[in-house]
A and B are shown apart, each in its own frame.
Chain A
């Protein structure tokens, strides 16, 4: 009932912000599927990146939370812990004292995490019984917070320092800890480390801190239990502390192949480290085939997204397609040149690549591969020889498979999440959407929760009807002009939102908005099939 009332109030107050008269109302379909409360059972490591308005504050500040919750399979949260970093101010090992959750047949639900008298509310969409996507929908008298993230089932048998063994690739993004100049400022830290029994040696990193580049630097570090939080031994939730590239972190073990980090000094960084597997390329000849990538961050103009794809072979990159949104200026590139992998180190999985847009701009990136099929990527475009970048952005690179992409294989139930900036109510601020949609003949039908932090009441919209369609102009892996794939998302009573879509495989796609229809946006997200 409370959600219904909230939705009604929000719908009224947000009319001007999110709704455009003249666009049709969309009735959400009845939830269908096989998910139940029992689909969420066990311990899950979660991460959410966004913003928070605290009581009395006139503006939001960035916030990231990483933690672990335990679901009993019957609608109850029985415990957990989280670490929170709010614009560099850290609150460690906050116990989750209880909570509840719902799961509809379509995998959508609500997750309430209780912290004593306070409760955080998240919208969730399960993508399997092992994982799901989430957005922060907290809107109380003491706190409104939004943000996008995910949760992944933890292997409790791996809750030991010794299980984190081997080489890992990491991507930590967020804000730096600079207190001297007008900061916090954007930072991206990616790299690779080898660890055994808690000793990290060697490690390598590329840091883009406010446009200042540190390239392929080495480091040593540690992973250990947290002596300051004896109430949360690593055996409880996989929680420990780490020193990586000179910065302190808290981590949560998902399993032996994935560890989730949040920084606890020198800024606000977060992200995952993923174990490199046995098929990661030992030389550049092993980097072959089609890849899609998505990076997001900042430029001097404002927010930035780049989503695209290329074909790699013999150090050459071909068939490049890239959609760029630089502070609300959207461009599609399909005539890029001078594209190549300019270096690759088979010991670490680190490489560099670049391509050009005519004579004016060279786009440069550093990447670390965790396998032949995936890795992390950081943009380092900037004046050559200066160790400076004109943007701070990073993200994922994944090999494409399963083409041709058609209505026959891009079909069925999907979770959809995007996050970024929107202009509405005469301000720019964060926007997060989480939806469950069913694709039938490439048409979307589903239900979404939608939180615009530009809303005067700081309340999300719940249970919006979603329509739209995906247009596959080519097979998604070729670069002939006009081969870009697109998606139109229709939200109830809202102008259509136009996305550029890059299929990774029939079960996963990257997307970013490709124009400002309805509202100026800089958002990016994923479409992920539900199992």
Chain B
């Protein structure tokens, strides 16, 4: 299959690009070809320190298959060590030391798309894992087919579970990481979003609108046009002032589909 990728991101209004604490991977790639492709977005928690680094470590590890699908918290250990090494290698002020001691937190949403043409009928599947409130939405035939892990805008109000950069920080592993599977067909689109945009997206569809069509108009104008679009939503109070990340994946099967 060929996957065509567009990514857009923005820090909170009033913050610099340096202060953007979401992460996504792959970066700076517009198309990928393969039988098994992975994508990920993550949202580093603002209250903690060094969350940006933690979010980046998570998305890269997932996409480079250092994490299985679904993964266990034990698999995060090497990443937690990398985080600790990077953070403790620095000369820290007393207040930064206090922050580091409580660890960094991040959501993670990982998507794997597969196309298996070994059998008679080509199987086109997807699997996803999620911890926290970063979401994926699958659009098929101009409709929302699936939304994961949250499926309605009202679900964004609670404080999400997040992955900690400290081993053993999670008290209860049960239900921390959710998993989902599905199938895809030619011309399907996947939108991977961090919480603010995902909440807006689902709310629009609850109002009977098609946010994916709106975003299509915006994306032709590139990052600048995306920036204007987000600024307007924030001004109108439609979008929470938070870091925003959107990764859109369009798919083209390598063989004409029978399905």
A, B in one complex = no
